[in-house]
Structure 1
Amino acid sequence: MQPTPTTQRFKILDVLRGFALLGVLIANMAYHSGYWFLSPEKQQNLAHYELGEGLLWLIHFVTEGKFYSIFSLLFGIGFGLQLQRAMAQNSAFTGRFSRRLLILICIGLTHAFLLYVGDILVTYAVLGFVLILFRNCNDNNLLRLVFILPLLPVLQYGISWYMAQVSDASGEVAGMDMFEQIVLTYQSGTFLEIIQTNIFGTFFGRYPDLIFTGRLFKVFAMFLLGYYIAKNRWFANLDTRKVQLKKILIWCAVIGIPCNLIMAYMMTTGAYYTMAPTGIIEPMVYAYGVPALGICYACGIALLYLKPKWQKRLNILAPFGRMALTNYLTQSLLCGIIFEGYGFGLFAQLGPIYFTLIGLGILLLQIGWSHWWLSRFQFGPAEWLWRSLTYMKIQPMKINTFPQHIVNN
């Protein structure tokens, strides 16, 4: 089975992938910059604190969970497309896709250990193996699971909250001494010390948090929805789906906007992690509110893409989206250079206004670089490596180097 030529791509999917990557970085900047690790008192000492808190609330409302939901949706679509292509060519699928996932785990662990504890690639890859088991699931069962899975984190949190009340837990997730040590390491530690902190944080911070928050259920629900969309080829004939897309957009906005207003407020209280009595409100409004608003965004982009003027504008994001893996990894590298001790050491020294401006600057740089790179090469560097290892064959890199029989396949 040959890899898919770039001439056979659906550009709307690249646009959506690029759009999602914009929001992912802005949502992650509070973590990349170290602001999340500061105590409330130290946050208040930063410049323009009140204005920054207002911006942070807006970031929570607009970005939190919505853009990784779109990414998860696209992962499910990609799975469906690859499965359909394998079936059409009567070629093996499971082995090759499993190899693809194993490579992604290696990339994700390298990313987490060297650059960013908040890596999502390993989670996607592990859940990708579970997704394979659902490849023969019918549409009705897929949709049932899409609606059921987001409720499980609410149930899970309810059990944890009840146990915390019964055990009279203090509600402290981690002592401030530990956070202060993390801040000190990222600010002025050696690269080896930072790697050690990243490894510890991955296994004892990131992964327990993914389990505690029920992120695995949330991501997998969007995988299944993406697979359903791929099976029914929703993205292939957008003109015929215009009425349906408008209805979905409206209903998702009706559900998503009020739920995310509540969630953004709850995130400013810290009640969720401290197991306060009101903490359960956050997973309740998250369950359907966050994916609903993410789907609302995606439908809005799809509808705009049907308008010629907007299609031209949105296509600016297509190269950025085609290089999503490269750009995701590069975002962590650039943030490491800016904020951590082996670079400028600005970790935990900037408030939301400044770290958001830095994030926007990184995005503009990456969009321009993606256009330049893909005007010369078929794939981004990370995409090329991933494809070459997946197919166990060096892939042609320069444009117009595909053999003619592959292009016409």
Structure 2
Amino acid sequence: MQNTLQATRQNNRIQSLDFLRGLAVLGILLINIESFCYPNPWSSYEYGYQSTLDHDVRFLVYFLAQGKFFGMFSLLFGVGFYIFLDRLEAKGIGLKALDIYARRLLILFLLGVIHAYFIWDGDILYHYSICGFLLFPFRAFTVRKLLFILLVPVSVLSYNSISNILSRQDQHQKYVEASSAKNPTEEQKKIVEKWISRTSRKEGHIGDIENHRQTYWQSVKANAEHTKVHKGEVMYSGILFRTLIMMILGIILYKSGVFRDYHSVKYYWLITAAVTAFAVYVNYIRYYHWTYQYFDPVLSVWKEWLFTFPKETMALAYILVFNGLYQKFSIFKRLIPISLAGRMALTNYITQSIICGLIFYGYGFSLYGQLARHELLYIVPCIWMLQLIWSYFWFKKFEYGPLEWCWRRLTYSGGGVG
């Protein structure tokens, strides 16, 4: 049994997937670093806006990165899920494959919880592990059936968007009626004040930002207040459907064969061009509005619907574009450090959190809230370079990244297996 249940060796890896994982783990830092520096990183006007340059940088970063690399990770997790089970099934070990798969996800869950409580409360790993269990019934479905299944979460999110816009239109109508009333009631006055407050330009935060993470244990306490696994919140309900959409898309793409040979899909580049063009258009108007017109509520049903899946469409476009380029042009295959960073994506993801904690929190250099948005872009490439160099030299001596080795070791050795 020990020889049968060995982890995947290098010569069995799909090289394009390592390259895509490398891009995803590096790219996700562009967004995650803001969560280490600001109390409200998503704000369009608070924290880190010292000049017009910061607003422009924020627009470009969100246009190109916000949610896109998370989407890539989710899609690639779906691919990895399918490959893992497919290879276990090929070894003919029957129900033992379910034990190994469940143990793999349990270990990922525990790693994520440790990361969330002791390093950074923005962890996504334990959320992925729960989604991994939800994915299991879809493994044996055909591509056509998966496409139909995909309509369920897409429809749910579309319905939520329509519900939101109808509610917003109703609020606007009440505001119009209240503002035109000759003798407005107290309730109407509140409606007018609330709408004006919502649609007014806001001033950014001025002055020092209180850092509640002056010591390491203060940081752990702050993490525990946000991470509520101990209260039974074991996944992020707000992004559950989005995560599943991307994971199912990953299974569909893998089943279509595009990661081994993009020629397996007819009109691959035409489809890629269409998806990319649509993604660029939608993301441009979405994040332009979010950055420069945040005070102007969306009242158009069509526009609200377009704003429903910007991140997912761009993530899919990135996957298709870079997968095709990697296979078509040898220059991309020579970007070995990126692929190596992808081979140890789990390790690099965790070390990004450790490095950012040391840079921004009080137990390190205490730069929390001290940098403008554009200044974060000076730090990101430095961390990228460190991780690329480290990944390159690590694989000179070892076959797996350190956390990847632990994950595999625990996966295959539990319960007397391996």
The TM-score range, normalised by the shorter chain, is 0.7 to 0.9
Of residues 10, 18, 22 in structure 2, which corresponds to 1:18?
22
Question: Does residue 55 of structure 2 align to residue 53 of structure 1?
Answer: yes
User: In the superposition, relative to structure 1, how do residues 183 and 196 fare at CA in structure 2: closer, same or farther (>3 Å)?
Assistant: farther
Of residues 236, 247, 261 in structure 1, which corresponds to 2:284?
261
Question: Does residue 230 of structure 2 align to residue 198 of structure 1?
Answer: no
Unaligned runs of 5+ in 2: 172-186, 199-204
- The one-letter amino acid paired with 1:262 is I
**What residue is the counterpart of 1:294 in the other structure?**
315
Aligned-residue identity in percent: 30
Instruction: Supply the distance in 2 between the matched residues of 1:321 and 1:217 (Cα, whole angstroms).
Output: 25
Instruction: Supply the distance in 2 between the matched residues of 1:285 and 1:197 (Cα, whole angstroms).
Output: 36
Instruction: Supply the distance in 2 between the matched residues of 1:53 and 1:261 (Cα, whole angstroms).
Output: 14
CA contact under 8 A between 1:154 and 1:283: conserved in structure 2?
no
Instruction: Supply the distance in 1 between the matched residues of 2:44 and 2:153 (Cα, whole angstroms).
Output: 34
Q: Could you give the per-residue CA deviations for residues 200-258 of structure 1, whole angstroms, max 9, x where no partner exists?
A: 12239xx799434xx111110111111122233321223x3375320221111222111
Secondary structure of the equivalent of 1:93? helix
Higher helix share: 1
Q: CA offset at residue 339 of structure 1?
A: 0.3
User: In the superposition, relative to structure 1, how do residues 308 and 256 fare at CA in structure 2: closer, same or farther (>3 Å)?
Assistant: closer
Question: Does residue 402 of structure 2 align to residue 378 of structure 1?
Answer: no
**What residue is the counterpart of 1:65 in the other structure?**
67
Q: CA offset at residue 155 of structure 1?
A: 2.5
Secondary structure of the equivalent of 1:392? helix
**What residue is the counterpart of 1:152 in the other structure?**
156
Query: Could you say what the CA RMSD is over the residues aligned between the two structures, in angstroms?
Result: 3.3
CA contact under 8 A between 1:259 and 1:290: conserved in structure 2?
no
Instruction: Supply the distance in 1 between the matched residues of 2:303 and 2:226 (Cα, whole angstroms).
Output: 24
Instruction: Supply the distance in 1 between the matched residues of 2:10 and 2:293 (Cα, whole angstroms).
Output: 45
User: What aligned pairs does 1:144-183 form with structure 2 within 5 A after superposition?
Assistant: 144-159=148-163
User: What aligned pairs does 1:8-407 form with structure 2 within 5 A after superposition?
Assistant: 8-34=12-38, 36=40, 40=45, 43-44=48-49, 46=50, 49-91=51-93, 92-159=96-163, 184-186=210-212, 189-203=214-228, 210-212=236-238, 215-238=239-262, 240-241=263-264, 244-268=267-291, 271=294, 276=297, 278=299, 284-392=305-413
User: In the superposition, relative to structure 1, how do residues 280 and 94 fare at CA in structure 2: closer, same or farther (>3 Å)?
Assistant: farther
Unaligned runs of 5+ in 1: 174-178, 394-405
CA contact under 8 A between 2:121 and 2:227: conserved in structure 1?
yes
Q: CA offset at residue 184 of structure 1?
A: 2.3
Q: CA offset at residue 367 of structure 1?
A: 0.5
User: In the superposition, relative to structure 1, how do residues 104 and 286 fare at CA in structure 2: closer, same or farther (>3 Å)?
Assistant: farther
Q: CA offset at residue 270 of structure 1?
A: 8.1
Q: CA offset at residue 325 of structure 1?
A: 0.2
User: In the superposition, relative to structure 1, how do residues 183 and 301 fare at CA in structure 2: closer, same or farther (>3 Å)?
Assistant: same
Give me the TM-score of the superposition, normalised by structure 1.
0.82
- The one-letter amino acid paired with 1:88 is A
User: In the superposition, relative to structure 1, how do residues 209 and 157 fare at CA in structure 2: closer, same or farther (>3 Å)?
Assistant: farther
Give me the TM-score of the superposition, normalised by structure 2.
0.81
Q: Could you give the per-residue CA deviations for residues 307-335 of structure 1, whole angstroms, max 9, x where no partner exists?
A: 45423333331100001000000000000
User: In the superposition, relative to structure 1, how do residues 299 and 218 fare at CA in structure 2: closer, same or farther (>3 Å)?
Assistant: same
User: In the superposition, relative to structure 1, how do residues 263 and 255 fare at CA in structure 2: closer, same or farther (>3 Å)?
Assistant: same
Q: CA offset at residue 57 of structure 1?
A: 0.1
**What residue is the counterpart of 1:403 in the other structure?**
none
CA contact under 8 A between 1:65 and 1:291: conserved in structure 2?
yes
Q: CA offset at residue 269 of structure 1?
A: 5.7
**What residue is the counterpart of 1:176 in the other structure?**
none
Q: CA offset at residue 284 of structure 1?
A: 2.8
Larger Rg over CA atoms: 2
Instruction: Supply the distance in 2 between the matched residues of 1:281 and 1:323 (Cα, whole angstroms).
Output: 41
Instruction: Supply the distance in 1 between the matched residues of 2:245 and 2:323 (Cα, whole angstroms).
Output: 21
Q: CA offset at residue 150 of structure 1?
A: 3.1
